[in-house]
Amino acid sequence: MFQPGLAALSGQEMSEAPPDWHAGPAADLLKGLLMPDDPRPVLGLPELLQPARLDRTLLHVYGPELMPSQLPVLVSQWSKYYFMQFWPALLVPRLMHGWQLPLGFAEVAIALDERGLPVALKPLAIGVAGDAALESVIQANLRPVIDALSEYGAVSAAVLWGNAGDYLEQCIVALEQRLGSELPPARRLLESSGSPLYGAVRYLDDGRRQRRSCCLSFQVEWVGHCEHCPLCP
């Protein structure tokens, strides 16, 4: 039996049966994680990120007034919904339960809401017990996702990595609040100078939270500056 947040990091013996990660202090963070046998309709991640499919999806989400004239902004905003689903699916099972869900680019499907925004992530297999290593999943999932979106939307990869880092930091803070302790493996993704997520968020002397990079939302008037925009004084 794992002690949340600690046993997964200690290397102690792990069960081969998947844990119930929808129970415990972080269960509310996993509302967007579907099991492999969940019957709800999903699209494989490689299919979802095909340019023709993205054209249809973003047009449905944002309408012809913005699509495709504001494509870089729209891709940046749409990516945030994916990152919202990705981080809890990675961090909670792996760091709190010692369980590695298969989250590679071709191992994941996505559920969209009626508009076309990502609302759930579905691993296509149940996974295995494992350690708390995170970096390999970043390379196997986030890098191809960000590369595909960057190329499609003519938006800098740095903007998309900034979005990913923003939601990573939010997820870490939410988990640490529930656990009452820090999660060093997750924090290293933000603190290692070799990580593409390095320094994604900082806290100013007055306590305000600020992103490292702008998400471009200010370029669309009705969206405006995000709450933690680095361009605002």
Q: Which of 207, 233, 220, 191 is nearest to 78 (CA)?
A: 220
Whether 124 contacts 37, CB under 8 Å: no
pLDDT digits (tens, 9 = 90+) for 166-181: 999 999 999 999 988 8
Band (pLDDT 50/70/90 cuts) for residue 233 is: low
pLDDT digits (tens, 9 = 90+) for 104-113: 999 999 999 9
Q: What is the pTM of this model?
A: 0.89
Whether 89 contacts 33, CB under 8 Å: yes
Cα angle value 102/103/109 (rounded, 5°): 105
Strands (E), the chain: 43-44, 99-100, 108-112, 118-123, 128-129, 201-203, 209-211
pLDDT score for 90: 96
Peptide bond into 93 cis (omega under 30): no
Q: Which residues contact 120 (CB under 8 A, 6 or more apart)?
A: 31, 32, 33, 34, 40, 42, 85, 110, 111
d(CA 49, CA 29): 25
Whether 42 contacts 34, CB under 8 Å: yes
CATH 1.10.510, applies to 28-219? yes
Residues in the chain, total: 233
Q: Where are the domains of the chain?
A: 28-219
The pLDDT of residue 202 is above 60: yes
